[in-house]
Structure 1
């Protein structure tokens, strides 16, 4: 579903099950009835995850948005102590919501920063946390807070500082709080992965205007339990 578009970019709510790198660009070209239209992919979202994405409609816009992604990665690295440099505010900010198994405990307090070293095993199609850096391992950092609990599940708000494959899913699962519906990483519940890209902020590549988009909680299970709580 397209939320905003102009000559430089388009912002949409990607449905779960559609590839962000191939499926969405193809769907946009079909929507525009323009098979040769330029669609620049500047960030990614797992196929099984829904939510906000921005795509560039010109090469210049793609380059400008990609620079913002890089600037934000560098800003977070300085903020986290992973790199040296002048502290600056990230320009490209991605916010997520997730429904987690369990409630806050010693392994997962009500708010905090998660840091892990992750190894992607391409043959198995999985990502694993490891104890120390080595070849093929990348550091992953996110910040989160628990917004509400319902029974034996929690609603978390998450901001990524790094963009590693399956990062959110693996970091919470490694602390015994897998995402609802994420059978690959230990969830016992069936259904779609309860992860939504719910907030997106960036600077318009042509006008320089700050742009901000947000989505409400989905109405389907398991999200609806938190809607009933007024979250």
Structure 2
């Protein structure tokens, strides 16, 4: 059973478990299909993505007429907050700061690389982080994205020698990927009112 955090006639906020795709797929278990069955609706529209291995808060459209507006609201840098928590294998030198990089995603390998110059397929990426706590040489960080690139958080921290715990793809070892979406705050695409939804870390 998928945990529902907020629902109205236009959209639903829920908690994505790790190990399931966040977008429709004919070949693998995916959250939109699960939601259609659980909610008893024929339409669940994807407006953003979360890595298969990651977990946490996501929002989906329940009305095809407003899917475009909800997608735009989610991408609105001025009015939308997307907060994540990640457990790093080490501790950053600075307690807080911004990371700015050029990222290239290799679709065949499904891996994102930090590169040193612009070329075809390279995109700018930036985020803000703050250390929440440190335990046994590992830092729990709060992350807010300014951009939304594939594997962005994972690649940016890994490039600095701080891969996320459990992220075998980027050098963080085996086990559960300790990356979770914990808060989404945006303007409702129909009413214009602010909707803010939170979820506990790694639940």
Cα deviation for residue 139 of structure 1 reads: 0.8
SS of 1:196's partner is: strand
**Equivalent of 2:166 in 163, 181, 193:** 181
TM-score, length-scaled by structure 2: 0.92
Larger Cα-atom Rg: 1
Residue 33 of structure 1, CA deviation: 3.2
Other structure's SS at 1:47 match = coil
Q: 1:33 to 1:167 in 2, by over 3 A?
A: same
SS at match of 1:124: coil
Point out where structure 2 has 5 or more consecutive residues left out of the alignment: 25-29
Give 1:209 deviation, angstroms: 1.2
Q: Cα offset for 1:150?
A: 0.2
State the 1:5 CA deviation.
Answer: 1.0
Partner of 1:133: 118
Which 4+ residue blocks in structure 1 deviate beyond 3 angstroms?
A: none
2:183 to 191, 199, 219: 199
- List alignment gaps of at least 5 residues for structure 1: 73-89, 220-231
Q: How many residues align?
A: 196
* SS of residue matched to 2:65: helix
Partner of 1:26: 33
Structure with the larger helix share:
1
Q: CA RMSD in A?
A: 1.3
Corresponding residue of 2:27? none
Determine whether 1:50 maps to 2:59.
no
State the distance in 2 between where 1:39 and 1:199 align. Answer: 20
Q: Which of residues 158, 162, 178 is equivalent to 2:147?
A: 162
Query: Deviation digits for residues 16-57 of structure 1, max 9, x if unmatched?
Result: 1111102111001111334xx121111110111000011111
- Specify the SS of the correspondent of 2:66: helix
Matches of 1:46 and 1:207 in 2, distance apart? 30
Output the TM-score relative to the length of structure 1: 0.81
